Amino acid sequence: MIHRASCHCGRIALEIDGEIGSVIDCNCSICQRRGHLLWFVPRASVRLLTPEADIGTYTFNKHVIKHHFCPHCGCGPFGEGVDPAGNAIAAINIRCIEGIDLASVQVHPYDGRSK
């Protein structure tokens, strides 16, 4: 299934191919403040519909996760990194997916603050 996601103003748009099984609610310093619910998918499953030059990127701590956001509205629809095996992954903020019923998604807490 193809899901479409975007920032609030729509300048960052992407399509994600996959089925949302469950997501994580991370309590790290950025996810907690932004209220992200993250769905992890292979980076190859994401098609960016926006030029990369139009996307803001923020890194912190170990600088291994690229937290992408819109420089215009500030919304952060996704991030990128690698999994423990070295595979490229994307973390999709499902709150940015069009038409999603958040009540139907299983959410697992993740203690990112202690990592």
Of residues 10, 1, 14, 11, the one with CA closest to residue 93: 14
Give pLDDT < 70 ranges for the chain.
none
Model pLDDT, residue 63: 86
Model pLDDT, residue 34: 92
Residue 106 CB: number of other CB atoms within 10 A?
A: 8
Model pLDDT, residue 48: 97
Model pLDDT, residue 62: 83
- Rounded Cα–Cα distance for residues 14 and 34 (Å): 19
Pick the CATH number of 2-114 from 3.90.1150.10, 2.60.120.260, 3.40.640.10, 2.170.150.70: 2.170.150.70
